[in-house]
Amino acid sequence: MPADTDIQLWAQELQRLLQLAQEARQSGDTARIEDVQAQLRRFCEDSPKAAQALDDVATKAIFDLDLGVTEAALAGIRSRAAEVQALTKLIAGVAASTQAKAKVLSGETARQAIDAATSAIGSFKQLRDQLDTSDADMATVAASIDKTLAAVQALRNRLEKA
């Protein structure tokens, strides 16, 4: 596993595991599927706290592998891979911005705030995805989560530019 400090390497490792997950699901080999699930669980256990958003994706992929319908499982795993790519771009942007702005901001505080915002975004998205929006109350909650997500993302963007 990568060093605790290199989130981009953790994202690459998760991409590799998601590729293995897709191949295992396509093969239908239960032993391969269980092996990939174990690797994904180890990923979550070994990754640093700053990689919580990646851990969330890995956990979703574990559940995707449990799906009985192959096409649904593959679609879920593919969406997880796309999510990791988006997170990788975000991480790269945060890292570049943080490094460039380290002289302006106290680096550790800025990184902590950006990491916290990134983690919050992942958590809010996961919560929103779990809501049954056919229920009017849940749809209202989902809309509130979307507004909160927009506000947190705007704050994170400001921190990155500061």
Q: Give pLDDT tens digits for 31-77.
A: 898 899 999 999 999 988 888 889 999 988 888 887 654 555 556 66
- The verdict on 161 and 96 lying in the same domain is no
Q: Choose the final residue of a domain: 79, 100, 121.
A: 100
Q: Is 28 left (phi over 0), alpha (psi -120 to 50) or beta?
A: left
The rounded distance, in Å, linking the Cα atoms of 161 and 135 is 39
Q: Are residues 30 and 70 in the same domain?
A: yes
The answer to whether 69 and 26 are in contact (CB under 8 A) is: no
Number of folded domains that form the chain: 2
Domain that holds residue 116: 104-162
| Whole-structure pTM value | 0.45
- pLDDT of the residue at 39: 95
**Other Cβ atoms closer than 10 A to 143:** 12
* pLDDT of 13: 93
Instruction: Give the pLDDT confidence score for residue 69 in this predicted structure.
Output: 45
Identify the pLDDT of residue 62.
86
Residue ranges in the chain whose pLDDT is less than 70: 1-5, 67-78, 81, 95-110, 124, 127-128, 131-133, 135-137, 160, 162
